Amino acid sequence: MSKVGPLKTEAEYRQAVEMLDRLSDLAPARTEDQTEYLLALACFVEKYERAHEPVPTASGAEVLAYLIETHGARQGEVAAGTGLADSTISENLSGKRKMSIRHIEALARFFKVEPAVFLDSSP
């Protein structure tokens, strides 16, 4: 294993990701030193990704649509499960109605996510 440190180039990043994959595959047979190296390298990979691959922004409506789709839920099921009117969910999804704190709290409970995911982060 090579010395671990900050990743400065895309090539270093790719090599580090390949090494993480190899070390992860060793799982139950991985030594303590390999595990420590993996954890340290993962920190540098994460730092590089944060700097070079920013998380895309999404509106509360986009997050709601994504959660409905990935949970295989129907709009009516979300309405019934949250106590919100079907028309409210529809207006939230279309962007015609901004999500209130009550909407956000109900949706967060229903989807078992942090309320902050519904806060608009789009410019």
Choose the weakest-confidence range: 9-18, 35-44, 48-57. 48-57
Contacts 24+ apart (CB under 8 A), 68-72: 68/93, 71/111
Whether residue 72 is predicted with pLDDT greater than 80 in this model: the reply is yes
Q: Please, are residues 38 and 30 in contact by the beta-carbon 8 Å criterion?
A: yes
Q: Which pLDDT tens digit goes with each residue over 96-109?
A: 999 999 999 999 99
- pLDDT number for residue 54: 74
pLDDT, mean over the chain: 91
Q: Which domains does the chain have, with CATH numbers?
A: 10-52 (no CATH), 60-118 (1.10.260.40)
Residue 68's H or E segment, with its range, is helix 60-70
Identify the three-state secondary structure at position 21. Answer: helix
Mean pLDDT of 44-52: 91
